[in-house]
Amino acid sequence: MHSPAGSTDQGRLPIIVGVAQLVNRSEDPADAREPLAMMAQVAQAAAADAQAKGLLEQADSVQVVNTVSWSYRDAPGLLAEAIGAQPQEKVYTAVGGNASQWLVSRTADAIVRGDVRLAVLAGGEAMRSRARWRDSAQLDWGRWVPPQSMLGDTRAGVNDVEVKHGARIPARIYPLFETAIRARRGRSIAEHQRHLGELCARLSQVAADNPYAWFPQARTVEEIITVTPENRMICFPYPKFMNAIMEVDQAAAVIMTSVATAQELGIPRDRWVYLWGCADAVDTWYFSERLSFHESPALALAGRRVLEMAGLTIDDIDWFDLYSCFPCAVELACAMLGIAEDDPRPLTVTGGLPYFGGPGSNYGMHAIASMVERLRREPQRKGLVSTVGWYVTKHSLGIYSGAPPEREWERRDSPEDQAELDASPHPTLAEVSQGRGTVEAYTVGFNRSGEPEAAIVVGRLEEGGRFIANTAPDRDLLLWMTQEEMVGRQATVRQDPDKGKNVIAIG
């Protein structure tokens, strides 16, 4: 990860010179565009934004963020063909919301080394079109083909035991972190729900002014926290308006190069935005084996390293875009980075995934593009983008400014950092759990009719092992769990041999 200390030629400093975003809200299936077409469009728009002719044809690196809504055998190759490039490097990432920032950081290193001259990074999702018109004859996107290769960690985000107990998707897992955070903060359920509403209302106000937001509407605290048919409870404590919305059609692209190449190509100086610092780190891979659910050691470490590289403190940052798939992701980022809950600085420049939209792994590209646009208007400002992959698992951070950095390019994160994180003590998940224990986190899932249907409980057995279990499907019990604090309560866990799952009795 390290670049040679103090050896950076100023001409090799990495910069972003072009950005573009796209949102397609059309209700006409004839307007549905596949992800590849959207990516080609934003790549071309990013080249126009850079104000230099013939830019895309000169790209020697074309990189694509993993796409959920459609799959191509060689997405970067097809994108290169669509934009007239013949790159030496083609990259398609593994799944993860950290992928966009991870690509920018990786590409910046390659530019500094002289391995990449001009890179096009893009991603796009058409989940809304695919969900609505997958059977329409007008939705002709060719054949779904698995990708030939992916760069990055391709492990699944959950293990078999977690899946067996219903913890298989973000909407069922992130609420577990939230209940642990609430208990750690010492708030009642009602107090914490209002806190979440205030946090989310801040995000939605930014989305209201963003032309690329899927829901450009400011919501009030009451709208966000009040459960209604429109805002049904998804998984306690999150009603719908607190959940990332993936059913969107959005795309974004970024063009990167060096200062010297930008000068050679005649790209105007007011297009340039510098990457001052970047860092990556990974927490214990499976959430059920984390030391706790109210903190993220990897995010805290990456935060320190990105600030060290930039030569800044957290107080020097003017704007943030903290990954916001669910409120707990923002709360964890604030806590790990040292941002106070009442800090007046913007926590998002897009509006956040519940309001701007959550286009799969590519949200971070929109955050970076939005940050670049802000910094062009006020070049002396500093902006930090923090992205997350899987379940508070993979973290990639970047610090940007329209002004050149005040120090040489030198990564401060290292393989030794990651090795230390990997070696840190943590509990082992017991597949078959039996005995007494203490609840550390829990959630209750609801069906589309607004009825509670299942609870997931995570905790520690008396001998120290971690358990994950379900309660009996008792409606009164499940509703009680949404009204009374469960974290810290004693419980008895046993294995149900018929279902092959752990069952828990609270008390």
334-371 pLDDT, tens digit per residue, is: 999 999 999 999 999 999 999 999 999 999 999 999 99
Per-residue model confidence as pLDDT tens digits over 187-231 = 999 999 999 999 999 999 999 999 999 999 999 999 999 999 999
Q: Which residues contact 112 (CB under 8 A, 6 or more apart)?
A: 3, 8, 12, 13, 14, 258, 409
Residue carrying the six token digits 């390659």 = 110
Structure confidence at residue 499 (pLDDT): 86
Handedness of CA 206, 211, 244, 318 (dihedral sign): negative
Q: Is residue 197 part of a domain?
A: yes
Q: Are 236 and 254 in a shared domain?
A: no
Judged by DSSP in three states, 70 sits in: coil
Domain limit, last residue, from 189, 211, 241:
241
Find out whether 250 and 124 touch, Cβ atoms under 8 Å.
yes
Rounded to 10 degrees, the C-alpha dihedral 401/405/408/414 comes to -30
Q: Are 418 and 463 in a shared domain?
A: no
Structure confidence at residue 137 (pLDDT): 53
Helix (H), strand (E) counts: the chain:
14, 16
Residue carrying the six token digits 């005995």 = 435
Distance CA 98, CA 110 (A): 18
- 237 upstream amide cis, omega within 30 of 0: yes
Structure confidence at residue 133 (pLDDT): 80
Residue type, 318: D
Structure tokens at 44: 């071309």
Structure tokens at 261: 């190449």
Structure confidence at residue 497 (pLDDT): 86
9 pLDDT band (50/70/90 cuts)? confident
Q: Are 20 and 38 in a shared domain?
A: yes
Domain limit, last residue, from 214, 241, 268:
241
Residue type, 40: A
Q: Is residue 476 part of a domain?
A: yes
Q: Is residue 190 part of a domain?
A: yes
Handedness of CA 275, 268, 56, 60 (dihedral sign): negative
139-176: buried (b, 16+ CB within 10 Å) or exposed (e) per residue? bebeeeeebeeebbbeeebbbebbebbbbeebbbbbbb
Find out whether 238 and 325 touch, Cβ atoms under 8 Å.
no
- 339-344, Cβ contacts within 8 angstroms, sequence gap of 24 or more: 339/314, 341/195
Q: Are 447 and 327 in a shared domain?
A: no
Residue carrying the six token digits 């806590």 = 335
Question: Looking at residue 484, what DSSP letter applies?
Answer: S
Distance CA 504, CA 457 (A): 8
Structure confidence at residue 30 (pLDDT): 84
Q: Is residue 430 part of a domain?
A: no
Query: Percent of the chain beyond pLDDT 90?
Result: 91
Closest CA to 368 of 340, 399, 403: 399
Residue carrying the six token digits 């809504």 = 69
Please work out, in degrees rounded to the nearest 5, the angle formed at the alpha carbon of residue 450 by the alpha carbons of 444 and 452: 30
Per-residue model confidence as pLDDT tens digits over 477-498 = 999 999 999 999 999 999 998 8
Domain limit, last residue, from 241, 266, 292:
241
Find out whether 356 and 210 touch, Cβ atoms under 8 Å.
yes
Identify which has the larger pLDDT, 103 or 30.
Answer: 103
Q: Are 265 and 358 in a shared domain?
A: yes
Sheet (strand 89-92) strand order: 89-92, 61-64, 118-126, 249-258, 14-23, 273-282, 394-401, 382-389, 319-322
Q: Are 173 and 50 in a shared domain?
A: no
pTM: predicted TM-score of the whole model, two decimal places: 0.96
Q: Is residue 472 part of a domain?
A: yes
- 146 upstream amide cis, omega within 30 of 0: no
Full domain range(s) for residue 26:
10-156+246-423
Q: Are 47 and 121 in a shared domain?
A: yes
Per-residue model confidence as pLDDT tens digits over 127-185 = 999 988 876 556 778 888 999 999 999 999 999 999 999 999 999 999 999 999 999 99
Give how far Cα 445 sits from Cα of 35, 79, 455, Å.
32, 40, 6
Q: Are 250 and 338 in a shared domain?
A: yes
Structure confidence at residue 8 (pLDDT): 65
Query: If you average pLDDT over residues 99-120, what whole number do you get?
Result: 98
Please work out, in degrees rounded to the nearest 5, the angle formed at the alpha carbon of residue 461 by the alpha carbons of 457 and 463: 165
Q: Which helix (H) or strand (E) holds 126?
A: strand 118-126
CA-based radius of gyration for the chain: 23
Residue carrying the six token digits 């970024």 = 254
Q: Are 226 and 320 in a shared domain?
A: no
Give how far Cα 396 sits from Cα of 22, 104, 301, 369, 393, Å.
23, 10, 11, 16, 10
Structure confidence at residue 494 (pLDDT): 95
Distance CA 360, CA 248 (A): 9
Per-residue model confidence as pLDDT tens digits over 436-453 = 999 999 999 999 999 999
Query: If you average pLDDT over residues 4-30, what whole number do you get?
Result: 85
Judged by DSSP in three states, 370 sits in: helix
Report the range of poorest mean pLDDT among 9-13, 43-47, 408-412. Answer: 9-13
Structure tokens at 432: 């078959």
Q: Is residue 3 part of a domain?
A: no
Q: Are 18 and 95 in a shared domain?
A: yes
Per-residue model confidence as pLDDT tens digits over 299-317 = 999 999 999 999 999 999 9
Q: Are 131 and 255 in a shared domain?
A: yes
Query: Percent of the chain beyond pLDDT 70?
Result: 97
Phi, psi of 21 (to 5 degrees): -135, 160
Distance CA 118, CA 502 (A): 53
Instruction: Provide the domain count of the chain.
Output: 3
Phi, psi of 400 (to 5 degrees): -125, 155
286 pLDDT band (50/70/90 cuts)? very high
Distance CA 332, CA 290 (A): 14
Domain holding 448: CATH number? 2.40.50.840
Q: Is residue 4 part of a domain?
A: no
Distance CA 245, CA 226 (A): 18
Q: Is residue 164 part of a domain?
A: no
**DSSP states along 73-91:** TTHHHHHHHHHT---SEEE
Residue type, 449: S
Closest CA to 187 of 341, 392, 334: 341
Q: Are 275 and 406 in a shared domain?
A: yes
Structure confidence at residue 5 (pLDDT): 43
Query: If you average pLDDT over residues 393-415, what whole number do you get?
Result: 96
